[in-house]
Structure 1
């Protein structure tokens, strides 16, 4: 178990996907995302396996991301943010839905 103090150190923030592409040399179908978390955090890169979505569906989608993790090497790419989702019945990621009236960079708690 973790304490509420431990949990409060995790920065869960709302961002908007502003750019999305498939990583051509990835072992699995993987998307490279640029996510805008507002003026305080700015634009961060993320790599995610999001096969339930087309590129058009992902563009401009609001997402929740962990913004204070150490960057992680994913193949030839660096992932700076972990975009949050839940598994569908096949174990593939479904992104959390965020209300369109939420400000970029808003903290999720």
Structure 2
């Protein structure tokens, strides 16, 4: 467990709590979407506290940053890519150099 994971969990729970306590008796669609997003963030952060490979699923960077392009666990990943931003960035840079880009 890392401090960053715990801080993310606390932040998401605080946000969800703030939203929940400010809701009216009949919340609007956007208000409930904000609450749902905050609760999903909290759930993901809580799951990463106990996950063997963290939220990235990467054995090299288990507590690293999740790649925003491939962060959704339900979306299929391109061959060779995972959810680790550090590893995916390294792959992208290597691919760009092979194609002659800088």
Bucket of the pairwise TM-score, normalised by the shorter protein: under 0.3
Greater strand fraction, Structure 1 or Structure 2? 1
**Larger Rg computed on CA atoms:** 2
Higher relative contact order (CA 8 A, sep 6+): 1
TM-score by length of 2: 0.27
Greater helix fraction, Structure 1 or Structure 2? 2
